[in-house]
């Protein structure tokens, strides 16, 4: 993310409120404000009788549909929270999947609600890899290699019967290095999930989560991927798994309906790579070469506080150029759109769009507390602050901090 001292146009006259064709022109968005994928842990257990045990199957319901519908706009793009393509992909409490018919039926409620408001919605497919725990998945935990966490990071949720302070350390649960059979099964899980998403749930496309230290990025990153076969070593081989996942999805649903999210400068989940530019440049070069009609590529931009916290890792990248997205736009060209997530708010979201640095801006937290965010930005209205403590479930009062935020007009009436 770069800034300058000039004052770009704001509100309705901004380029943010001009049409954006994605998916090789088969979908045209009416504005460039995109709702980010955000884990909220509001799913419900498929089997309510297993509450005394770790629930491994969570489904979407009417409340989740209401949440997304509140934030849908005509011609606006929403990307869902992380959805697991298989049980071993995560099973974080409250996170839903897309491998059963019940999953498809649950998410159909959401797509119907978003489409009723004229919106577009993509399902984000996520495999956590070594960022999952067997106590929740009931399966082995897989990654590119059996590389454990090197940090003291703890899992997001405590095991059944334990307190929040007693959460498990990731490093105490090293993953299993995936065999070719594991890789093939995992890719098959992505394909099945995409098929359900498109044919049963009615999504407009799927976005593969290739960032945040999850499985795809574990394969991309040299400190986690220590393989000596065709999936490890050089940057092109470390990109192989990601490209095989995308290839399988393109074959199943078409390149115009497949997108990917990447975090080239991320350090989340203990991943880092000493060939940052080479690895991610090769990956997006291959995306552009193989699938010129690809839906879009979403990038999580570098957060300056993260970079400051890991100076040795940043130094290892050998970065001799600005950490921004111009390089990606130059590679992907005009047809594959580049959208950016990176701490955007009502003050800093205007400039990059006007300069053409990015094609769309992805908002996360501000969409949580402002269901009418698009209109507030269009009309220059103030934004409601979010409550970080209410971001995540599961909780007995699922609507709190979820569907109970009002529009600007509703908030004004309460004053």
Q: Does the annotation count 231 as an active-site position?
A: no
Q: Which of 67, 142, 214, 392 is catalytic?
A: 214
Cα–Cα distance measured from residue 350 to residue 75, given in angstroms and rounded to the nearest whole number: 19
Tell me the average pLDDT across 357-367: 96
Cα–Cα distance measured from residue 241 to residue 254, given in angstroms and rounded to the nearest whole number: 19
Cα–Cα distance measured from residue 147 to residue 54, given in angstroms and rounded to the nearest whole number: 26
Handedness of CA 97, 103, 106, 112 (dihedral sign): positive
What's the pLDDT tens digit per position in 322-351? 567 889 999 999 999 999 998 899 999 998
How buried is 293 (Cβ within 10 angstroms: 0-12 exposed, 13-18 middle, 19+ buried)?
A: middle
- Contact (Cβ atoms closer than 8 angstroms) between residue 213 and residue 271: yes
Residue 307, pLDDT score = 54
In percent, the amount of the chain with pLDDT more than 90 equals 75
Is-above-0.75 flag for pTM? yes
What's the pLDDT tens digit per position in 160-174? 778 888 899 999 999
User: Where are the chain's structural domains?
Assistant: 11-414
What's the pLDDT tens digit per position in 120-147? 999 999 999 999 999 889 899 999 999 9
What's the pLDDT tens digit per position in 15-39? 999 999 999 999 999 999 999 999 9
- Contact (Cβ atoms closer than 8 angstroms) between residue 113 and residue 156: no
Q: Two tokens at 127?
A: 């495999």
What's the pLDDT tens digit per position in 86-117? 999 987 899 999 999 999 999 999 999 999 99
Cα–Cα distance measured from residue 45 to residue 103, given in angstroms and rounded to the nearest whole number: 11
Pick the CATH number of 11-414 from 3.30.450.40, 3.40.309.10, 3.20.20.70, 3.40.50.300: 3.20.20.70
């Amino acid at each position: 993310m770069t800034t300058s001292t000039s004052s770009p146009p704001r509100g309705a006259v901004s380029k943010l409120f001009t049409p954006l064709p994605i998916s090789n022109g088969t979908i045209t968005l009416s504005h460039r404000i995109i709702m980010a994928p955000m884990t909220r842990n509001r799913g419900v257990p498929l089997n309510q009788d297993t509450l005394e045990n770790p629930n491994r199957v969570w489904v979407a319901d009417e409340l989740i549909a209401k949440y997304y519908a509140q934030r849908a706009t005509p011609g606006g793009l929403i990307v869902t929270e992380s959805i697991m393509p298989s049980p071993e992909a995560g099973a974080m409490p409250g996170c839903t999947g897309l491998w059963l018919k019940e999953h498809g039926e649950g998410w159909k409620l959401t797509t119907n609600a978003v489409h009723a408001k004229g919106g577009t919605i993509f399902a984000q497919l996520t495999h956590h890899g070594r960022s999952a725990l067997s106590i929740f998945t009931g399966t082995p935990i897989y990654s590119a290699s059996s590389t454990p966490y090197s940090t003291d990071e703890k899992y997001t949720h405590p095991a059944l019967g334990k307190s929040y302070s007693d959460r498990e350390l990731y490093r105490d649960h090293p993953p299993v290095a995936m065999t070719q059979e594991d890789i093939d099964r995992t890719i098959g899980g992505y394909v099945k999930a995409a098929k359900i998403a498109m044919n049963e749930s009615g999504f407009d496309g799927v976005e593969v989560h290739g960032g945040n230290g999850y499985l795809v990025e574990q394969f991309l990153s040299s400190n986690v991927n220590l393989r000596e076969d065709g999936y490890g070593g050089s940057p092109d081989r470390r990109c192989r798994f990601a490209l095989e996942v995308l290839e399988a999805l393109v074959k199943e649903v078409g390149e115009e309906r497949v997108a990917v999210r990447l975090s080239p400068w991320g350090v989340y989940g203990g991943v880092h790579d000493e060939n940052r530019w080479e690895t991610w440049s090769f990956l997006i070069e291959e995306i552009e070469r193989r699938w010129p009609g690809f839906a879009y590529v979403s990038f999580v931009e570098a957060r300056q506080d993260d970079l400051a916290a890991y100076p040795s890792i940043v130094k290892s990248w050998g970065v001799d150029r600005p950490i921004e997205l111009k390089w990606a736009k130059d590679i992907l060209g005009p047809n594959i759109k580049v959208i950016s997530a990176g701490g955007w708010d009502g003050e800093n979201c205007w400039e990059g769009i006007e300069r053409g640095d990015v094609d769309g801006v992805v908002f996360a937290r501000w969409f949580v507390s402002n269901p009418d965010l698009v209109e507030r930005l269009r009309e220059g209205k103030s934004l409601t602050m979010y409550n970080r403590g209410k971001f995540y479930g599961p909780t007995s009062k699922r609507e709190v901090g979820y569907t109970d935020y009002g529009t600007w007009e509703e908030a004004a009436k309460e004053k």
